[in-house]
Structure 1
Amino acid sequence: MKQLRFLLPLALSLSPLASAAPQSRFTNYLYQNEDSWVTFHEGSYYMCSSGPAEPTAVYVSKSPSLVERGEKVKVWEDADNYRRVFAPELHFIQGKWYIYFCADVKSEGWKHMAVVLQANTGNPLDGFTNKGVLFTGDQHGNAQANDITVVTFNGQLYAFWGSLADKHVEGAVMAPMESPTKITAHRKEFGLHAEGPRAIVRNGKLIMTGAEGGFASKDYRLSALVYSPEAGPIDSKASWKSLGTLFKTTDDVWGPSRASFTVSADGKENWMMYHSKIFPADNNGMRAANIKKFTFKEDDTPDFGTPPGPSTVLENPSGDPGLGELYEAEDWQLAGDAVKAATNKNFTGSGYVDGFAKQGARAAFTAEVPDAGIYRVIVRYANGVKVEAEQQSFPKIYPPAEGSLTLYVNGAKTKRTHFHRTTNWDVWMFHGDELELKAGKNEIAYQFDEGDAGEVTLDFAAVAKSATPRHGLTGSYYNNRDLSDLKLTRLDPEISFNWGNGSPDPLIAPDTFSCRWEGFIEPLYSETYTFHSKSDNGRRLWIDKQLVIDKWLDDYDQTYTGTIKLEAGKKYPITFEYYEEGGGANTRLEWSSDSQAQEVVPSARLYPAVKN
């Protein structure tokens, strides 16, 4: 990262964005994300995702704004039985929430199959239960599937998905569904030679979009078919007409595709969310989420236009509340080597903060909020560090490394916050943190501390009340095995870690460290629960002040259990302690009951301790 100490003329900045008012304009890219999916329900946007690398989990986030996704909450994972969980989609069907995805499934010989989950409650952040592998085959038996989606059209629920090098069919296929969790009909081809089918229904017309070309290539693009009822039944290829390529690569946006479709907060505009490549190299799969408004032609087919590049300033969707009050970074209090700069392009206001190259660099602002509570703090940042092995075709380092700074709230060290790579120093993305703020004035600071990588410039921050409660447990990390040499505290979504021969953080030495997680656990059922802990090395578990597991000893990779009776919907205090004594370091906490399948206790059922 270059350090800059001078200003260029204001004409080179994005001065239209400079405003003391709440955030109302943005640029793409938004944040790192693959296979973007969004749905709007009862005034909120819900985003669903997995990835990157070898994903085994599904996440849902909730936000009042389409511009930023909100805090990701892990709602399901079964890493022992499901791998390569790709392209999950969240749907509200017949009064219930469902998630559809395709994954390598152990029970199916690790074939890539379609899977459906059903929400545990009416809140999709409360976790999901696996309802099993869907039938996506024909008279030859069940078959592999790729990128499944569902849509209700003329009162009938249909599933659409891609086939995987199948000798019996070519391209995408479809079938009617008996229910949101069951397909019994045989699949039929419908003529889409692309992956990732996704639907648009407009004035009684059904359009199926799909992603053509190599997923990590510049040639990745969006095409579509439209159903023509007068030509025949919906499951006949002759009934579908090609609309051709509708969205494709430009000079500064590579591989825009995999779109999902929604509306503005007031319902007046149509918007698409899609991903595109972060780095301009073929066969490099790092991608970011984007949004743009689109329109319809007179024949009710979509006009997606051209994907806007990272220099194009866009207005928030109509009625969108935005990210909150803006605090331009060039107005912050700076210390150490942190400086105001204005050489890089596409910043807002009159500049940004640079100089996070060594310890002591610090940038702080004061946010004033009306009430105490959890607030989402969004920073617009760039991390244009160029590492060829990360950004080349067929990258040797995947995913790329991240920049980092330590985040302080009112003088208290809160967490180490991480910043994904951006295309270069002229491209900006958003990063969000959930912070507990007091009523009135709060000092929020980003500082280069021991263990930080820096590698970031900061453009502005926006602060708004969080749309979701905080999930996870407060983790305290100690540089010895007896829980006395505290080095850092952070919020962990769950207890499922494998540090190998390393440690949880650069501040912690490998081989001899300990951890304590504290907060609350909320069961779904009124039953006797069994807790399972597999660790290398010792572990102890208290729930409701009862010692449930007590194996504070040096053995490794042994699973110990304990039981306790719990009531549904009641939050119980929980404390889990762990120590490492050399070699490999790992620990996990699972639960099970008569109604609860054994799984890692998910973040959706965990809450951090409330500060006094």
Structure 2
Amino acid sequence: MRPTRAKAVLLVLATLLTVTANLLTPGAAHASPAVQYTNPLAAQRADPHIFRHTDGYYYFTATAPEYDRIVLRRATTVQGLATAPESVIWRRHTTGEMGAHIWAPEIHFINGKWYVYFAAGRADDVWRIRMYVLENAAANPLTGAWTERGRITTPWDTFSLDATTFVTGGVRYLLWAQQEPGIATNSNLYLARMGANPWTITGATTRLTIPTLAWETRGYKVAEGPAVLQRNGRLFLTYSASATDANYCVGLLTASASADPLQAASWTKSQSPVFATNAATSQYGPGHNSFTTSEDGQSDLLVYHDRSYRDISGDPLNDPNRRTRVQKVYWRADGTPDFGIPVADGVTPVRLMSYDTPGSAVRHWNYRARLEANVTPLADSQFRLTTGLSGSGTVSLESANFPGYYLRHRNHEAWVEQRDGSALFAADASFVRRAGLAGSGTVSFESVNFPGYYVRHRAGQVWVERDDGSSPFRASASFLLE
């Protein structure tokens, strides 16, 4: 064998060994690490858009309930946006165009300049809503002058709103909602290439979807608020449907990243909403979302608005209490996103992923805690880490989809059960969070009322048992939070 060929063979073998080792290493096949935020992020801010820029800042804009201005704030963390000072970067005109219903601003950085897309009515005809663009050449969009670049011209001079932009295959596109003559809907979704500048489209306009399904047509026939998430060789296009009350929800179109997005046939519509009202967590009418990434860049974040109550007096658009919220996007084994449910207010939940059984999470099933891969629904495997029911220095794990239910042990079996107010339940549902018994990067949960006993999985079930010092026990009692 020639030396060069021998080296090549050794290199291939080394690569195979490395891949095999990675597959066999406990914890190697886990999703992105836990990111936690406290909701709501901002009160009375609807249609939120958060843009993460290369300057290290997150930029946040949203609809103000007075519908009279465009606001902007920035921070180096997502949570920091909650307390960041807010600036008014533009106000509505007192007459004519851009004089009313200032809705759904989005901020983007394109070719070295900042652009804000927004919808506005006329001062003398508030429902004559069209799409407009502002431009700012300053490095920091909170400074510098905003220039009005005017209205985006589309094939029809009709109700249009919610413009957004994205790049795929090296081409920039504009995506928006509009009422098309001859179609009896409030708005459909449309896509076109961007032209010579960020406020001009060119070429053919494609209608991507019309609201026809029951969940898209409650109150109004609506498809609006589109946003695009690109992962795993696919384009995932979310949009919002129905009236802006508790019926509001999020739908999904999916296309291959290699397909022509201007071909309507490239897109497949999910037949059920992918994100909707959840009475158990007191979240109503979630929608008009955008996407950003976590501070470590490893997690996609869903940014959206909703209300904390169902019943609204009068027109929902006159109710000011839509709030901006954020939570992590999870990914299924088939590469599709799982948005779960709009989680309860407060700190966002995490999943307890097994260290020695990669891809498997602690979940509840008929109240019994067990270990399982590919959990459906996602929220069965989400828990909020709260201050322990036994008090300071301990933690409790509250179910995401059954608030008030906690992971507790009973006869060494782990269950997810409703808090009954007793001291015994509080002790059974409280743990000391420890550095993982299996080592760096993991966590373990030690029983408060049985010191030396830890949450662990065995034979597909979850138990609270004594640490016997063995490597198998310690691996089974160690978790990665995601």
TM-score of the aligned structures, taking structure 1 as reference length: 0.44
CA–CA separation in structure 1 for the residues paired with 2:125 and 2:306? 32
Q: Which amino acid aligns with 2:151?
A: V
Correspondence for 1:74: 88
Whether the aligned pair in 2 keeps the contact of 1:169 and 1:189 (CA below 8 Å) is no
Residue 151 of structure 1 pairs with residue 166 of structure 2: yes
Structure 2 CA distance for partners of 1:220 and 1:109, relative to 1, 3 Å: closer
Whether the aligned pair in 2 keeps the contact of 1:136 and 1:144 (CA below 8 Å) is no
SS in 2 for 1:147: strand
Correspondence for 1:132: 150
Query: What do residues 420-455 of structure 1 show as CA deviations (whole Å, max 9, x unaligned)?
Result: xxxxxx9xxxxxxxxxxxxxxxxxxxxxxxxxxxxx
CA–CA separation in structure 1 for the residues paired with 2:127 and 2:251? 30
Q: Tell me which of 251, 256, 265 is aligned to 1:223.
A: 251
Alpha-carbon shift at residue 176 of structure 1 (Å): 0.8
SS in 1 for 2:284: coil
Whether the aligned pair in 2 keeps the contact of 1:76 and 1:129 (CA below 8 Å) is no
Unaligned runs of 5+ in 1: 1-23, 316-345, 351-425, 427-612
Query: What do residues 110-159 of structure 1 show as CA deviations (whole Å, max 9, x unaligned)?
Result: 7211111111412111242110101122xxx5433121111111111111
Q: Tell me which of 52, 59, 62 is aligned to 2:65.
A: 52
Alpha-carbon shift at residue 26 of structure 1 (Å): 4.9
Correspondence for 1:249: 277
Correspondence for 2:397: none
Q: Which amino acid aligns with 1:155?
A: G
CA–CA separation in structure 2 for the residues paired with 1:204 and 1:306? 25
Q: Which amino acid aligns with 1:75?
A: I
Residue 199 of structure 1 pairs with residue 228 of structure 2: yes
Structure 2 CA distance for partners of 1:59 and 1:207, relative to 1, 3 Å: same
Structure 2 CA distance for partners of 1:109 and 1:312, relative to 1, 3 Å: closer
Unaligned runs of 5+ in 2: 1-34, 212-222, 351-384, 390-403, 405-482
Structure 2 CA distance for partners of 1:43 and 1:314, relative to 1, 3 Å: farther
Whether the aligned pair in 1 keeps the contact of 2:158 and 2:180 (CA below 8 Å) is no
Alpha-carbon shift at residue 182 of structure 1 (Å): 1.2
Correspondence for 1:184: 202
Alpha-carbon shift at residue 105 of structure 1 (Å): 3.9
Query: What do residues 432-483 of structure 1 show as CA deviations (whole Å, max 9, x unaligned)?
Result: xxxxxxxxxxxxxxxxxxxxxxxxxxxxxxxxxxxxxxxxxxxxxxxxxxxx
Structure 2 CA distance for partners of 1:168 and 1:135, relative to 1, 3 Å: farther
Correspondence for 1:99: 116
Correspondence for 2:50: 38
Structure 2 CA distance for partners of 1:120 and 1:26, relative to 1, 3 Å: closer
Alpha-carbon shift at residue 279 of structure 1 (Å): 2.8
Residue 122 of structure 1 pairs with residue 139 of structure 2: yes
Alpha-carbon shift at residue 39 of structure 1 (Å): 0.9
Residue 266 of structure 1 pairs with residue 296 of structure 2: yes
Alpha-carbon shift at residue 235 of structure 1 (Å): 2.1
Matches within 5 A, 1:199-348: 199-215=228-244, 217-228=245-256, 233-243=260-270, 244-251=272-279, 252-282=282-312, 284=316, 285=319, 286-310=321-345, 313-314=348-349
Correspondence for 1:85: 102
CA–CA separation in structure 2 for the residues paired with 1:87 and 1:101? 6
CA–CA separation in structure 2 for the residues paired with 1:196 and 1:71? 26
Query: What do residues 549-587 of structure 1 show as CA deviations (whole Å, max 9, x unaligned)?
Result: xxxxxxxxxxxxxxxxxxxxxxxxxxxxxxxxxxxxxxx
CA–CA separation in structure 2 for the residues paired with 1:49 and 1:264? 19
Whether the aligned pair in 1 keeps the contact of 2:233 and 2:257 (CA below 8 Å) is no
CA–CA separation in structure 2 for the residues paired with 1:300 and 1:168? 34
Percentage of matched positions with identical amino acids = 27
Q: Which is helix-richer, 1 or 2?
A: 2
Structure 2 CA distance for partners of 1:76 and 1:348, relative to 1, 3 Å: farther
Structure 2 CA distance for partners of 1:108 and 1:201, relative to 1, 3 Å: farther
CA–CA separation in structure 2 for the residues paired with 1:136 and 1:124? 27
SS in 2 for 1:238: helix
Alpha-carbon shift at residue 223 of structure 1 (Å): 1.0
Alpha-carbon shift at residue 257 of structure 1 (Å): 1.3
Query: What do residues 325-345 of structure 1 show as CA deviations (whole Å, max 9, x unaligned)?
Result: xxxxxxxxxxxxxxxxxxxxx
Q: Which amino acid aligns with 1:259?
A: N
Q: Which amino acid aligns with 1:143?
A: T
Query: What do residues 266-306 of structure 1 show as CA deviations (whole Å, max 9, x unaligned)?
Result: 11221111111133214543211111111223443211112
CA–CA separation in structure 1 for the residues paired with 2:266 and 2:184? 17
Whether the aligned pair in 1 keeps the contact of 2:236 and 2:255 (CA below 8 Å) is yes
Structure 2 CA distance for partners of 1:76 and 1:192, relative to 1, 3 Å: same
Whether the aligned pair in 2 keeps the contact of 1:135 and 1:184 (CA below 8 Å) is no
Query: What do residues 7-35 of structure 1 show as CA deviations (whole Å, max 9, x unaligned)?
Result: xxxxxxxxxxxxxxxxx965422221101
Q: Tell me which of 128, 131, 137 is aligned to 1:111.
A: 128
Q: Which amino acid aligns with 1:309?
A: A
CA–CA separation in structure 1 for the residues paired with 2:288 and 2:127? 25
Structure 2 CA distance for partners of 1:201 and 1:131, relative to 1, 3 Å: same
CA–CA separation in structure 2 for the residues paired with 1:149 and 1:296? 24
Correspondence for 1:13: none
Q: When the two structures are aligned, how many residues end up with a matched partner?
A: 292
Query: What do residues 390-440 of structure 1 show as CA deviations (whole Å, max 9, x unaligned)?
Result: xxxxxxxxxxxxxxxxxxxxxxxxxxxxxxxxxxxx9xxxxxxxxxxxxxx
CA–CA separation in structure 2 for the residues paired with 1:191 and 1:263? 27
Residue 161 of structure 1 pairs with residue 176 of structure 2: yes
